[in-house]
Amino acid sequence: MPRKRNKKTAIKRAAEYCEKGDYHIHLDSSWPYLPVYLEKMTYVKKLLNQYGKNKKIIDLGCGEGVLVKEFNKKSFDIIGLDLNYQSKFVKRGNILNTKYPNNSFDIILCLDVIEHLSFHEQNIAIQEMSRILKSGGKLIITIPNLAHLASRFSFFFLGKLLRTSKIDRHIGDRPISEHLKLLKFNFTILKRKGFFPTFPLISALTYFKPSKAIFLHKIYNKLLGYPNWCLLNILICEKK
């Protein structure tokens, strides 16, 4: 007799995951964002080990749930929520209305999600994160910066911004200062770190040979990672 399908472990994909598959798990060495992604994940793992033990954690917009799976296996109390992915570790749900009670979590992760929302939806998402986070809880959020250094050069000389992705994918692309302003209504920003200062030569190497730039990004981010120059910002915020 055929085996019954285990619904709890079945993977359900929608949107870009139907097209690209589990691309955060099966990393492509030619993916231009690869060096930034790896540096980001290394830093977030460090933060989770620092803040997350014995805390209740949710990863909002977690995609395939890479961090959820890894830290679940380390016995962290962590769950994932995503609109376009569902698996053993990830629940299908919407960041705009998570349906969790007030003050449910000690830590919220929101990694490269806000930029996919419209300006109006961004405010709703931040309010929702504040609602489900406990008082004094931590929000660890990563946000692309439309006003990164190469984008500023391009705008100055060509009158054109260099977006962090296609406009139909990052519909809520903004300069980081605008994101900071939104966050400050509900959160105190404790720390901000930049990844990938987009100097022209660095940008060209990262785009054309991303796998060759992985080690160099560790140096760039350490020596030149002024957040306002960088493509990506990571913020540690505390609920007021």
pLDDT digits (tens, 9 = 90+) for 2-36: 444 445 558 999 988 998 999 999 999 999 999 99
Neighbours of 123 (CB within 10 A): 14
The domain ranges of the chain are: 12-239
Residue in this structure with the two tokens 């960088």, named with its chain if needed: 230
pLDDT digits (tens, 9 = 90+) for 90-132: 999 999 999 999 999 999 999 999 999 999 999 999 999 999 9
pLDDT digits (tens, 9 = 90+) for 54-73: 999 999 999 999 999 999 99
Beta bridge partners of 140: 109, 236
pTM for the structure as a whole: 0.93
Average pLDDT, the chain: 94
DSSP string, 198-220: --HHHHHHHHH-GGGSHHHHHHH
Helix H segments across 10-140?
16-20, 34-51, 66-72, 119-132
Superfamily of domain 12-239 in the CATH hierarchy = Vaccinia Virus protein VP39 (3.40.50.150)
Which pair of structure tokens corresponds to residue 175? 């300069």
**Cα–Cα distance for residue pair 92/169, rounded to 1 Å:** 20
Q: Say whether pLDDT at 77 is over 70.
A: yes
1 confidence band (pLDDT: 50, 70, 90): very low
